[in-house]
Amino acid sequence: MPRETAIALPLLESKNDDRLFLQRFSLTYEFAVLFTRDTFSTDNRTFADLISGPKGETPARVSVILDEGVLREMPDLKRRIAAYVETCPGAILAGPVEMIVGGEAAKNDPTLLTDLQRRFVDNGLDRHSYVVCIGGGAVLDLVGYAAATTHRGIRHIRVPTTVLAQNDSGVGVKNGINAFGMKNMLGTFMPPHAVINDSAFIDVLPGRDKRAGMAEAVKVALIRDRAFFEWLEEKAEALALFASEPLEKLIRHCALLHMRQIAHGGDPFERGSVRPLDFGHWAAHKLEVLSDYGLRHGEAVAIGIALDTRYSVLAGLLPAGEDLRVARLLSRLGFELWHEACDVRDDSGALQLLKGLEEFREHLGGDLTITLLGALGVGIEVHSMDPELIGQSLEWLRGEAGI
Ligand SMILES: NC(=O)c1ccc[n+]([C@@H]2O[C@H](COP(=O)([O-])OP(=O)(O)OC[C@H]3O[C@@H](n4cnc5c(N)ncnc54)[C@H](O)[C@@H]3O)[C@@H](O)[C@H]2O)c1
Ligand SMILES: [Zn+2]
């Protein structure tokens, strides 16, 4: 009888049980967030350094997608980008710079996703290529998702052009689109290859969007950084006038707080149920839908923050008076703290907004976990909210907080 050849087992942990082998590896993510100005002027090499490869190697293919709203303000940007990439050794444009509709519409039309994926394939992109997206948070979310799902992941460089995208979404690790009547229902966790925060884009941003992004700064200050909250109070008047110096500071500090939370908060891909960066967001996401996206994300977040701060007081978690202080800051920044979407009811008279709580829970699964405030600068987690107190908080927003 021929003897069976002995084959060595690959080295895998087996816990002394030959039916169980553990597969285990880890990945470290690292990406640069660069603060600069006039990225596509040829003497600024920030972008060139990111995409340029060694001379003599096959050049990396670069697809650039541009938010329509940005192009409206900077009509010669397409031409400048094309001229700039010409100056980058080891990189070539894989097709003309493409434009895409800006705002939430980009995340609401599923055909845009397949159009982009097809375009990446037609442009011959591969995993050594770059998808560069220049735009607001909505377009970045859509293009990031398309890049993450084509070839199972093409490198994605974000160039956020709104306050919100520069100080929050653009430096994060999520992307996605809206589907089945819900925000961000489809998407992936995929860190970008790099992020370029260019202040020149903020200069041309309409005031409404400059303001909207400030809500995320108030949010992260309230859960993590009391000194930042006090700084925001000090600068509220200048910020409401969109003075560029404090606005740049706000963007940078807020972006760094978001980055710190993602890197050191212990759950970058939100596997658990705690989402501290989503303070005020259970209501905000629902209000965006209930207002038919008439409310900007940041505007809805401002209402959500005021609501959950008042609720924190009513629930006995936060000292009385702090709610008014938060509402006052938001008002001084120019936010409206009431919108008719807060009061949309179904046939039985039930508040539609309350459904936002369950949808928030469903998005992650597991226990409902909502961040409220224990003090200004200190977020705390709770696992239920009393509809009666939510109703009272809304009444407060409609009346007293509309200072
Ligand atoms: N992925 C995440 O982690 C994350 C986090 C927070 C928010 N978001 C998402 O971000 C989106 C909101 O993003 P947003 O607040 O940046 O708004 P937005 O992307 O909806 O853009 C608002 C408007 O501004 C225009 N625009 C963008 N930049 C401009 C510029 N520099 N000049 C002139 N017009 C410009 C756009 O065309 C659009 O019309 C929401 O969909 C929200 O869900 C995602
Ligand atoms: Zn947000």
pLDDT tens sequence across 115-163: 999 999 999 999 999 999 999 999 999 999 999 999 999 999 999 999 9
Mutation choice for ligand 1 from 162, 183, 278, CB with most ligand atoms inside 8 A: 162
Q: Whose CA is nearest to atom 4 of ligand 1?
A: 169
- In contact, 132 and 120? CB cutoff 8 Å: no
pLDDT at 401 over 70: no
> With a 6 A CB cut-off, is 204 part of the ligand 1 pocket?
yes
* DSSP track, 75-109: TTHHHHHHHHHHTSTTEEESSPPEEE--STHHHH-
pLDDT band at 22 (very low <50, low <70, confident <90, very high): confident
Residue 403's pLDDT is what? 52
Mutation choice for ligand 1 from 77, 107, 141, CB with most ligand atoms inside 8 A: 141
Mutation choice for ligand 1 from 108, 169, 251, CB with most ligand atoms inside 8 A: 169
Ligand number with the minimum distance to the CA of 169: 1
- Six-digit token pair at 16? 């002394």
Q: Which amino acid is at 158?
A: R
Residue 402's pLDDT is what? 55
- In contact, 257 and 224? CB cutoff 8 Å: yes
Distance from the alpha carbon of residue 213 to the mean position of ligand 2, in angstroms:
9
d(CA 301, CA 297): 6
Distance from the alpha carbon of residue 353 to the mean position of ligand 2, in angstroms:
17
> With a 6 A CB cut-off, is 145 part of the ligand 1 pocket?
no
- Six-digit token pair at 282? 């259970």
Distance from the alpha carbon of residue 59 to the mean position of ligand 2, in angstroms:
37
> With a 6 A CB cut-off, is 169 part of the ligand 1 pocket?
yes
pLDDT, tens digit, for every residue of 25-68? 999 999 999 999 999 999 999 999 999 877 667 899 999 999 99
Count Cβ neighbours within 10 Å for each residue of 316-350 and write b for 16 or more, e otherwise.
Answer: ebbeeebbbebbebbbbbbbebbbebbeeeeeeee
> With a 6 A CB cut-off, is 270 part of the ligand 1 pocket?
no
Residue 398's pLDDT is what? 94
Distance from the alpha carbon of residue 13 to the mean position of ligand 1, in angstroms:
46
- In contact, 247 and 202? CB cutoff 8 Å: yes
- In contact, 194 and 30? CB cutoff 8 Å: no
3-state secondary structure of 356: helix
State if pTM tops 0.85.
yes
pLDDT, tens digit, for every residue of 233-270? 999 999 999 999 999 999 999 999 999 999 998 889 98
Ligand number with the minimum distance to the CA of 281: 2
Neighbours of 388 (CB within 10 A): 9
Distance from the alpha carbon of residue 221 to the mean position of ligand 2, in angstroms:
13
Q: Whose CA is nearest to atom 40 of ligand 1?
A: 138
Residue 6 sits at φ, ψ, to 5 deg, of -80, 130
Distance from the alpha carbon of residue 138 to the mean position of ligand 1, in angstroms:
5
- Six-digit token pair at 206? 């309409």
Distance from the alpha carbon of residue 165 to the mean position of ligand 1, in angstroms:
6
